[in-house]
Structure 1
Amino acid sequence: METVQNAPSTPSSYDWRAKVESIKKKASSLRDDRKQSEPEELELQLYTIVNTLENLCLDVKGLKSAVRDQDLNRLMKTVESAVHNQTQVMRDHYKVKANFKCLRDLYIGSPEDSKEDIERENGGLLKDSYSWILDHDDFRRFNNSPASRLLWVNGEPRTGKTMLLCGIIDELKKKPSLTLSYFFFRSTEDHQEDASSALRGIIWLLCANNMALISYVREHYDNRGNKLFEGGSSFTPLACILKNMLQDPCLRDCIIIIDALDECSDDTRKCLINLIVELSTSFPAKWIVSSRSSRVIKRKFRDAEGIIPLKVTKDSISQAVNFFIHHRVDEMKHSEWYDPKIKEVVLENLLLNANGSFLWVDLVCKYLKDCAPWHARKCLSETPPGVNELYKRMLRPILILPDGNDYQQILAKACIKGRPLTLDELPTLVPRLKKFSQETLKEIIGNCGSFLTLTQDTTIDFLHPSARDYLMENAKDFLFPDSTKV
Structure 2
Amino acid sequence: MTLAVSFGNQNTGVQLGGNSGNLTIQLQQPADEACLRDLRTTDPRDDRNRIERAKGGLLKDSFRWILSDEGFKQWQNSQDNRLLWIRGDPGKGKTMLLCGIIEELTSSVGDVSNISFFFCQASDVRINSATAVLRGLIYLLVEKQPSLISHVRSRYDKTGKALFEDKNAFYAVSDIFTQILKDPTLQTTYFIVDALDECTTDLNLLLGLITRESSSPKQVKWIISSRNWLEIEEQLETTTQTSPISLELNEASVSEAVEVFIRHKVEKLAKMKRYNQNIHETVNDYLSQNSQGTFLWVALVCEELSKISRLNTLERLEAFPPGLNDLYDRMIDYIRDSNEVDAEICLRVLAIISTMYRPPTLHELKGFLGLEEEDNGYDPEDVSEIIARCGSFLTIRDDVVRFVHQSAQDFLRLSKDVSPQGLEVEHHATFTRSLNLIFHNLKRNIYSVGSPGLSVEELRDLEPDPSPLVAVRYACIYWVDHFQDGVPGNSDDTSLDEGGILDRFLQESLLNWLEALGIMGTISSGIAGMLKLERLLQVIDTPGKPSPHMYILMPKSIYRAEEHHQPY
Structure 1 residue corresponding to 2:85, chosen from 152, 163, 176: 152
Q: Which amino acid aligns with 1:470?
A: F
Partner of 1:207: 142
More helix by share: 1
Change in CA separation of 1:230 and 1:166 when aligned onto 2, cut-off 3 Å: same
SS at match of 2:65: helix
Tell me which residue corresponds to 2:356: 417
Structural mapping, 1:184-333, within 5 Å: 184-187=119-122, 189-251=124-186, 253-265=188-200, 267-284=201-218, 285-313=220-248, 314-333=251-270
Alignment partners' CA distance in 2, 1:460 and 1:370? 19
Give yes or no for the alignment of 1:137 onto 2:70. yes
Q: Distance in 2 between matches of 1:188 and 1:396?
A: 24
Distance 2:405 2:304 in 1: 14
**Percent of paired sites with the same residue:** 37
Q: Choose which of 105, 112, 117 in structure 1 pairs with 2:50.
A: 117
1:252 positional shift: 5.0
The CA deviation at 1:437 is: 4.3
The SS at the match of 2:202 is: helix
1:402-424 C-alpha deviation (Å, 9 max, x unpaired): 21222222222222335423433
C-alpha distance in 2, partners of 1:485/1:249?
54
Structure 1: distance between partners of 2:354 and 2:75: 38
Q: Distance in 1 between matches of 2:382 and 2:392?
A: 18
Partner of 1:62: none
Q: 2:346 aligns with which of 381, 384, 407?
A: 407
**One-letter amino acid of the counterpart of residue 273, structure 2:** E
Aligned-pair distance for 1:300?
A: 0.9
- Residue in 1 that maps onto 2:409: 468
Contact 2:86–2:247 (CA under 8 A) maintained in structure 1:
yes
CA distance in 2, matches of 1:90, 1:412: 53
In structure 1, the residue matched to 2:471 is: none
- Structure 1 residues 199 and 438, CA gap change in structure 2 (3 angstroms): farther
Closer, same or farther in 2 for the Cα pair 1:484/1:419, shift >3 Å? closer
Aligned partners of 2:392 and 2:12: how far apart in 1? Answer: 54
One-letter amino acid matched to 2:350: L
Shift of 1:464: 1.1
Q: Is the 8 A contact 2:372 2:380 kept in 1?
A: no
Residue of structure 2 equivalent to 1:345: 282
Contact in 1 for aligned 2:115/2:141 (Cα 8 Å): yes
> 1:257: how far off?
0.6
- Give the drift of 1:339: 2.4
- Tell me how far apart the structure 2 counterparts of residues 433 and 300 of structure 1 sit (CA, whole Å): 50
- 2:312 is matched with 375
SS in 2 for 1:93: coil
Cα 1:342/1:241, change in 2 over 3 Å: same
Distance 1:195 1:437 in 2: 41
Structure-2 separation of matches of 1:290 and 1:432: 40
What amino acid does structure 1 have at the position aligned with 2:209?
L
One of 320, 324, 327 as aligned partner of 1:390: 327
Instruction: Give the Cα separation in 2 of the matches to 1:427 and 1:417.
Output: 14
Cα shift at 1:374? 2.2
Could you list the per-position Cα deviations for residues 100-157 of structure 1 after superposition, in whole angstroms to 9, with x for gaps in the alignment? 2222222222111111111111111111111111111111111111111111111111
Q: For the Cα contact (< 8 Å) 2:43–2:136, is it kept in 1?
A: yes
Using the alignment, how far apart are the partners of 2:300 and 2:366 within structure 1?
28
For the Cα contact (< 8 Å) 2:355–2:423, is it kept in 1? no
Counterpart of 1:93? 13
Task: Give the letter for the 2:381 counterpart.
Answer: E
Q: SS of 1:453's equivalent?
A: strand
CA distance in 2, matches of 1:105, 1:438: 36
| Equivalent position amino acid for 1:205 in 2 | L
Name the CA distance, whole Å, in 1 between partners of 2:179 and 2:241: 22
Deviation track 1:12-60 (CA, whole Å, cap 9, x = no partner) reads xxxxxxxxxxxxxxxxxxxxxxxxxxxxxxxxxxxxxxxxxxxxxxxxx
What is the SS of the residue equivalent to 2:112? Answer: coil
Q: Conserved in 2, the CA contact under 8 Å of 1:428 and 1:434?
A: no
TM normalised by structure 1 equals 0.77
Tell me the amino acid that sits aligned with residue 234 of structure 1. A
Equivalent position SS for 1:153: strand
1:177-188 alignment runs, 5 A limit: 177-187=112-122
Superposed displacement of residue 324, structure 1: 0.8
- Which protein, 1 or 2, shows the higher relative CO under an 8 Å CA cutoff with sep ≥ 6? 1
Cα deviation for residue 476 of structure 1 reads 1.4
Asked whether the equivalents of residues 185 and 260 of structure 1 are also in contact (C-alpha less than 8 Å), the reply is yes
Deviations 1:166-190 (A, max 9, x none): 1111111121322210000124543
Instruction: Specify the SS of the correspondent of 1:257.
Output: strand
Q: Which runs of 5+ in 1 are unaligned?
A: 1-84
What is the TM-score with the length of structure 2 in the denominator? Answer: 0.66
CA RMSD of aligned residues (A): 2.4
Tell me the distance in 1 between the aligned counterparts of 2:422 and 2:30.
Answer: 57
In structure 2, list runs of 5 or more residues that go unmatched: 15-27, 427-568
Which of the pair has more CA radius of gyration? 1
> Using the alignment, how far apart are the partners of 1:91 and 1:345 within structure 2?
67
| Cα distance, 1:274–1:434 mapped onto 2, change above 3 Å | farther
Following superposition, the deviation at residue 445 of structure 1 comes to: 1.5
Distance 1:234 1:369 in 2: 46
In the alignment, what sits opposite 2:18? none
